[in-house]
């Protein structure tokens, strides 16, 4: 097999290959690599070929660390036919490993983290843990992206989709319609004020939930990079009150509900904005020909009192297919990888303390 680096003029070719894979994710799109590029990040896009035919792709985000060390990360990648033969999967990953080892001599790579989008139970049936272990990958129980999600099938009729929702979800949608909750869709790149208003809702929601939200600069870069074809904004209003907002990404035949926020107001609680907001997004994407909507992140069933428990209960009301991904695996390139894990664990503990403090202050 041969590994080739994709150049900027091959953007269309890259996206076409990614979108054609049944397990693709928007985080492996060319645009997402551009979003992440910056002061401490760069993007490396590798294609794997067998007899001049592309069989895999790996978008690798490279983060610069102190002392010129680097870590490599493929969010929801690499893009491989994970459900194919074990020998093919192993051969592809070995080829990428060899390429990375070859170029790592002067770049001080610590490790490469991957997060395949194959379901955990299917990966176990295919013995993928053994395939990865033989190559040198180590299981890492800390994933960067959500390890669980819910995906709504949009290929059914609107009537069948609505009927599949939980009873309380259907009631809340109809109640929101009776209360004259209004949904607005925004696709204009110049409408920065609307984007800022939704970002403010995201900040409010993050503070309420005790987690850290994306900065304005990050959200603005997503908007500018994904426009005009891969991003849209939805808002829920009651008269002059903005109640909720969602930033939706699209790629291939899928939509992704990546960023969302809402207010909590006793006088407006009966407007049920989020329910109608999600329903209108589902209908809109279906009409445009999209086949799936990823609600992006739900709490694992095994963890009680997870920070996402409440929002997960809301998302589960739309009765999408609940998926547990295979998880994260690291491929070490340096003995210092294990020291990095220790330092990263300390950093996580400090972040958890900060989250607790933020939650206490916000009460």
DSSP letters, 314-351, are HHHTT-PEEEEB--EEEEESSTTHHHHHHHHHHHHHHH
User: Could you tell me the pTM of the whole model?
Assistant: 0.92
DSSP summary character for residue 141:
S
Query: Element (H or E) spanning 152, and its range?
Result: strand 148-153
DSSP summary character for residue 27:
G
Per-residue pLDDT of the chain (363 residues; tens, 9 = 90+): 999 999 999 999 999 999 999 999 999 999 999 999 988 899 999 999 999 999 999 999 999 998 889 999 999 999 999 998 999 999 999 999 999 999 987 789 999 999 999 999 999 999 999 999 999 999 999 999 999 999 999 999 999 999 999 999 999 999 999 999 999 999 988 999 999 999 999 999 888 877 778 999 999 999 999 998 999 999 999 999 999 999 999 999 999 999 999 998 877 778 999 999 999 999 999 999 999 999 999 999 878 888 888 899 999 999 999 999 999 999 999 999 988 888 888 877 766 666 555 555 555
Distance CA(224)–CA(230), nearest Å, equals 10
Residues in CB range of 238: below 8 A, 6 or more apart: 179, 180, 181, 182, 268, 271, 273
Domain spanning 148-323, CATH class = alpha beta
Q: Does the fold of domain 148-323 match that of domain 2-145?
A: yes
- CATH number, domain 2-145, options 3.40.630.30, 3.20.20.70, 3.40.640.10, 3.40.50.2300: 3.40.630.30
End-to-end CA gap in the chain: 57
Distance CA(270)–CA(263), nearest Å, equals 12
In the chain, where the domains are located: 2-145, 148-323
């Amino acid at each position: 097999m041969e590994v080739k680096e994709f150049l900027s003029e091959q953007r269309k070719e890259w996206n076409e290959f990614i979108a054609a894979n049944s397990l693709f994710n928007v985080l492996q799109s060319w645009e997402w690599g551009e979003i992440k590029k910056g002061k401490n990040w760069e993007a490396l896009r590798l294609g794997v070929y067998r007899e001049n035919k592309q069989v895999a792709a790996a978008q690798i985000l490279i983060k610069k660390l102190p002392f010129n060390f680097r870590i490599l990360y493929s969010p929801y990648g690499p893009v491989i036919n994970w459900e194919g033969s074990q020998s093919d999967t192993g051969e592809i990953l070995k080829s990428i490993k060899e390429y990375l080892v070859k170029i790592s001599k002067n770049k001080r790579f610590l490790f490469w983290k991957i997060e395949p989008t194959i379901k955990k139970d299917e990966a176990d049936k295919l013995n993928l843990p053994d395939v990865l272990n033989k190559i040198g990958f180590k299981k890492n129980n800390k994933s960067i992206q959500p390890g669980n999600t819910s995906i709504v099938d949009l290929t059914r009729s609107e009537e069948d989709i609505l009927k599949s929702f939980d009873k309380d979800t259907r009631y809340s949608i109809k109640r929101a319609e009776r209360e004259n909750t209004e949904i607005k869709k925004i696709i204009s790149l110049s409408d920065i004020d609307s984007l800022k208003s939704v970002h403010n809702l995201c900040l409010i929601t993050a503070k309420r939930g005790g987690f850290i939200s994306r900065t304005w600069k990050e959200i603005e870069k997503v908007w500018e990079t994904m426009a005009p074809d891969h991003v849209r904004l939805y808002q829920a209003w009651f008269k002059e009150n903005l109640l909720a907002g969602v930033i939706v990404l699209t790629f291939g035949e899928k939509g992704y509900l990546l960023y969302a926020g809402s207010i909590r107001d006793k006088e407006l609680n009966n407007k049920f904005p989020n329910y109608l907001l999600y329903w209108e997004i589902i209908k809109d994407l279906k009409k445009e020909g999209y086949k799936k909507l990823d609600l992006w992140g739900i709490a694992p069933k095994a963890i009680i009192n997870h920070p996402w428990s409440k929002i997960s209960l809301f998302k589960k009301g739309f009765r999408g297919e609940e998926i547990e991904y295979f998880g994260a695996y690291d491929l070490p390139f340096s003995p210092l990888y294990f020291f990095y894990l220790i330092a990263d664990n300390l950093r996580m503990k400090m972040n958890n303390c900060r989250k607790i403090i933020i939650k206490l202050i916000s009460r």
